Amino acid sequence: METKYSQKKKSFLQEFKKLLSFETIGADPACENAMHLCAHYLQERLTALGLESQLINTPNHPLVFGSNCTAGADKPTLLLYQHYDVQPVDPLELWDTPPFAPTIKDHRIFARGAQDNKGQLQYVLQALELFDKKFPINIKILIEGDEETGSFGLSSILEREKELFKADFLSVIDVGMKAKDIPAVTLGVRGIATFEISIFGPKMDLHSGSYGGIVKNPLQVLSALLASAYKEDGSIAIPGFYEDVEEVDKEPLDFSFDENFSKKITGVDALGGEQAYTPLERAWLRPTLEINGMHGGYTGQGFKTIIPSSAHAKVSIRLVKGQEPQKMLQLVKDFFKKCCPEGVSIEINLHKGGGRACQACPTSLFTQAVKEAFSEVFKAPCSLILEGGSIPITTALAEASKAEPLFFGLGLLEDNIHAPNENFSLDRLEKGTYIVVKLLEKLKKAFL
Amino acid sequence: METKYSQKKKSFLQEFKKLLSFETIGADPACENAMHLCAHYLQERLTALGLESQLINTPNHPLVFGSNCTAGADKPTLLLYQHYDVQPVDPLELWDTPPFAPTIKDHRIFARGAQDNKGQLQYVLQALELFDKKFPINIKILIEGDEETGSFGLSSILEREKELFKADFLSVIDVGMKAKDIPAVTLGVRGIATFEISIFGPKMDLHSGSYGGIVKNPLQVLSALLASAYKEDGSIAIPGFYEDVEEVDKEPLDFSFDENFSKKITGVDALGGEQAYTPLERAWLRPTLEINGMHGGYTGQGFKTIIPSSAHAKVSIRLVKGQEPQKMLQLVKDFFKKCCPEGVSIEINLHKGGGRACQACPTSLFTQAVKEAFSEVFKAPCSLILEGGSIPITTALAEASKAEPLFFGLGLLEDNIHAPNENFSLDRLEKGTYIVVKLLEKLKKAFL
């Protein structure tokens, strides 16, 4: 396998750079064309790998689907889930190299999507290539274009295409490990729900001298509303926020947390969230409410003494097992509407998409196969972890495809996903390839 | 006087449009050249009016100065204070016509600075022109370029140039009236002090899934800090904030407030500030703390699920009689620093400039002369009011010039100063001219 990999290394890297060069920011309407070009490019790659491929149109971006089910009805079917859309790139000025001009430095490739998820998609495609069109099991692969914006496209066509997606196992290769030498498989991810909250005050910006003390300031109101959602101990003050949280068996999970390493990556101490829990309990087992963006008034050079006419915030809730996105959004909406004072108006725009948390079984054949593949490639025992992030579509996709889901991947904190200078190490690109190859072979054996 | 005005009306308007076309946003470094061009243009206009004129360089923008003291040592000297810098223009998309392309519609001229302060400067220059270089009293005029950004330039050269600015009376023609048919003279303005507050968290934007619940969110911290500065009753919670507030004799002042008219202009009820006071008491006699701008995280199209690395706010304090800007800034700085939690760092950047509140004498000869000029032109009794806005340099300028200060002007709420679609009515441009002419004549008579 290693020899074959080194023979193909150059062409692998060439294709990877090509994949990374598409400006596939799903949230940005200006990237519409790049999204289409990338989807077509991926469809061609799937065909070249020996899969029957197609683009499936959705109300949002197209998804790319491929399958090769020639292994036989007695063999299991693995549905591989990936995505080709990426996060926005700003603040652009903090990137050392342009986000869509992939650059290799110190055995790492820097680009938006280098890890999330184009890097992890690339090693899946590399693994499939190593089989030379003769797959040990039946393969389906689904590459969506709306993951970072809530998977609205995929969720819209899920019911219609459930036969197409039908599988025994669903691998969601969009997560990571705790450290580069400690392999891990992820049993679950948090769910997510997002919304925007706007406060509207005077019908135009007003002079803060003439009106300071006369009208309510929307930025002051929004700050106070957001602040009121948090208690002193870091917990969320919104009534019912924790009501549906289900207990999770903590026993198989590795909650160890390297404070020093985390501080090295983030530059700050792990002092956020509910102080009654350890850092990884907070990130894995507890729902959170985060302000992702906020703006209002004059934010340019110098100063402008105004009372702004409006103020805006983008907020996301991470959900854990038991919590329903729509119910949680309604709870939060009701809270802010009730707390909003007179003299301004409030508008809360709940986003489509989002999804429930998803948790896999720690002892299944599938989990065991993935654990073994990781252990063998890393030559170290594989631990079980959870992920604080979300792959919103997973629960619904697992239900539609009737497949057992599992999350894994070779992401690391240092990859800077969703941030400037996102990167992925070439070493892990290779290891990931081997893990996927081994997984396919192990699933074949398990069904002999 | 009216005949002469109508003869010159066309050329007055031509000069006014020229003055409004200079993009003199003092806060914007890109407007540097426009500031210089406008200053030169004004110097030439002063020379043409029969004044000895000069540009005075400052550490910021140049100021324009002119004088004609040929009326004689037995005549009083009036120092006219104006400014040629204007507020920034954003949100640009809310302007119906370009802010630096003056446009006349329904007997109003629309442009940034149409009232504040180029409109009020224009009628002062028109009044001087009507005297045909033969002034009844000694005239000095000072037109600064840093008013909207805190008058740092003028304050820097004030001590050095105090002989040049020496005068008996200082007219600050940069305020307004309560309604278009109710003339008023402004006995005082609030002071101002401004600062920026930044919260720094992780060294880069982090994935809000992986880190939500682990690290502190700078937007959450900043919202909570700002919210903590306000009490439920609308008063400011910062210890000592009201300590130095001096009582003001309310008797001569007209505190009547037209709620309906205010709502028509602003679109909202007058529910801001301290509920224990009436609207105009709040705007005139009480200090306020306003958030003028705030930003952090992702604020573009769509959504980006990050914990931002930093959050920022621009804040201004309006000061009343008795309060020192530097002391108040220190109070506020100490409060926020003390309240800032662990896990993030705080930076508070106090701005230069700012200034104390200023209050004039309601019964002086100067106040009487201005009141009479307003009454005669408007054919209605003139009331005494205060102004919630600030002309930060006034107190220091009055001290340096040894002149008695007074504030007046023909501004109205409907002029949209500091906001999109700023405008000034041509009718008031004419009335303002007559008021200044009458004032000069009245001051001459008073000294006969």
Closest CB to B214 among A88, A206, A283: A283
Nearest CA in chain A to B414: A206
Give the residue-averaged pLDDT of B161-190.
Answer: 94
The Cα of A306 is separated from the nearest Cα of chain B by a number of Å equal to: 5
CA torsion sign for A120, A121, A124, A129 is negative
Chain B interface includes A419 (CB < 8 A): yes
The answer to whether B366 and B439 are in contact (CB under 8 A) is no
Contact B222 A219 (CB under 8 A): no
Per-residue pLDDT reduced to its tens digit, A236-247: 999 999 999 999
Q: Which residue, A310, A311, A434, A425, is CA-closest to A4?
A: A434
Place of tokens 């915030």: A313
pLDDT mean over A202-215: 91
CB-CB neighbors (< 8 A) of B202 in chain A: 266-268
Nearest residue, CB atoms, A283 vs list B210, B341, B388:
B210
B234 — phi, psi (to 5°)? 90, -5
Interface contact B417-A203, CB threshold 8 A = no
Whether pLDDT at A353 is above 70: no
- Predicted confidence band at B413 (pLDDT cuts at 50, 70, 90)? confident
B300, A222: Cβ pair inside 8 Å? no
Given a contact cutoff of 8 angstroms between Cβ atoms, the answer to whether B77 and B138 are in contact is yes
Average pLDDT of the residues in B336-343: 96
Distance from CA of A85 to the nearest CA of B (A): 12
Contacts of B215 in chain A (CB under 8 A): 266, 268-272
Cβ of A72 under 8 Å from any chain B Cβ?
Answer: no
CB-closest option in B213, B291, B416 to A220: B291
Residue B210 clears pLDDT 90, i.e. is over it: no
| Gap between the Cα atoms of A274 and A289, Å rounded | 11
Write out the E strands in B29-183.
52-56, 63-68, 77-83, 103-105, 108-110, 138-144, 169-172
Closest CA to B169 of B36, B275, B76: B76
Which among A150, A215, A290 is the nearest to B307, CB-wise?
A290
Cα-flanking dihedrals φ and ψ of residue A313, to 5°? -140, 145
Helices (H), B200-351: 218-227, 259-266, 279-285, 325-339
pLDDT in tens, B249-289: 999 999 999 999 889 989 999 999 999 999 999 999 999 99
All residues of chain B having their beta carbon less than 8 Å from the beta carbon of residue A206 are 266, 418-419
- pLDDT score of A413 more than 90: no
Residue A1 has pLDDT above 90, yes or no: no
Verify whether the Cβ–Cβ distance B223 to A220 is below 8 Å.
no
d(CA A420, CA A112): 8
pLDDT reading at A179 higher than 90: no
Best of A117, A255, A290 to substitute, by most chain B Cβ atoms within 10 angstroms, is A290
The reported pTM is 0.84
For residues B376 and B129, what is the distance between their CA atoms, to the nearest angstrom? 21
Query: Quick check: A298 and B299 CB within 8 A?
Result: no
According to the model, what pLDDT value does residue A198 have?
98
A179 at interface of B, judged by CB pairs closer than 8 A? no
Structure tokens at B24: 């003199």
- Please, are residues A27 and B303 in contact by the beta-carbon 8 Å criterion? yes
pLDDT digit string, tens, across residues B227-246? 999 999 999 999 999 999 99
Task: Give the separation between CA B137 and CA B167, rounded to whole angstroms.
Answer: 11
Q: What is the mean pLDDT of chain A?
A: 95
Task: Write out the DSSP string of B181-217.
Answer: TB-EEEEEE-EEEEEEEEEE-SSS-EETTTSBTTB--
Instruction: In whole angstroms, give the CA distance from residue A215 to residue A307.
Output: 8
Helix (H, G, I), strand (E, B) or coil at A183: coil
User: Which chain A residues are Cβ-neighbours of B262 within 8 angstroms?
Assistant: 214
Residue B354 has pLDDT above 80, yes or no: no
CA B364 centroid distance within chain? 24
- Sheet hosting strand B310-319, strand order edge to edge: A345-350, A191-200, A310-319, A288-297, B288-297, B310-319, B191-200, B345-350
Q: Is B162 exposed, middle or buried (0-12, 13-18, 19+ CB in 10 A)?
A: middle
Q: Is the Cβ of B268 closer than 8 Å to some Cβ of chain A? A: yes
Minimal CA separation from B9 to chain A, in Å? 31
pLDDT confidence tier of residue B353, bands split at 50, 70 and 90:
low
Integer Rg of chain A from CA: 23
Partners of residue B291 in chain A, C-beta under 8 Å: 217, 219-220, 223, 296-297
**How confident is residue A14, by pLDDT bands cut at 50, 70 and 90?**
very high
> Chain B closest CA to A177's CA: distance in Å?
11
One-letter amino acid for residue A83 of the chain: H
**Predicted pLDDT of residue A256:** 93
* pLDDT band at B303; cut points 50, 70, 90: confident
Q: What is the pLDDT of residues B108-157, one digit of tens each?
A: 999 999 999 999 999 999 999 999 999 999 999 999 999 988 788 999 99
Lookup: tokens for B447: 């000294």
Contact A422/A111 with Cβ under 8 angstroms? yes
Pairing of strands B191-200, B310-319: antiparallel
CB contact A48 to B (< 8 Å): no
Average pLDDT value over all residues in chain B: 95
The nearest CA of chain A is from the CA of B347 a distance in Å of 16
Confidence of residue B402 (pLDDT cuts 50, 70, 90): very high
Average pLDDT over residues A256-278: 93
Å between B27 CA and nearest CA of chain A: 5
At A301 the pLDDT is 80
Of A237, A223, A116, nearest in space to B210 by CA = A116
Supply the pLDDT for residue A418: 86
Determine the residue type at B204. M
The whole-number average pLDDT for the span A420-439 is: 98
Q: In this predicted model, what pLDDT tens digit does every residue of A41-50 receive, in sequence order?
A: 999 999 999 9
Note the pLDDT of residue A152. 87
B338 contacts B314 by C-beta, under 8 angstroms: no
B214 interaction partners in chain A (CB closer than 8 Å): 262, 270, 272-273, 279, 282-283, 388
The DSSP bridge pattern shows strands B103-105 and B108-110 to be antiparallel
- Say whether residue B190 is in contact with chain A using an 8 A CB cutoff: yes
* A363: DSSP letter: T
Percent of chain A topping pLDDT 90: 87
- Distance CA(B416)–CA(A204), nearest Å, equals 9
Q: Does A306 contact chain B (CB < 8 Å)?
A: yes
How far is residue B266's CA from residue B349's CA, in Å, rounded to a whole number? Answer: 31
Contact B220 A208 (CB under 8 A): no
Burial class (CB in 10 A: 0-12, 13-18, 19+), B166: middle
Cross-chain CB nearest to A419 (options B204, B216, B314)? B204
DSSP 8-class letter at B86: B
Structure tokens at B121: 């400067």
Rg (CA), chain B: 23
A contact residues 354-383, partner B, Cβ 8 Å cutoff: none
Q: How far apart are CA B288 and CA B234, in angstroms?
A: 10
Q: What is the pLDDT of residues B58-70, one digit of tens each?
A: 999 999 999 999 9
Name chain A contacts of B194, Cβ cutoff 8 Å. 303, 305
What is the least distance, in Å, from the CA of B266 to any CA of chain A? 5
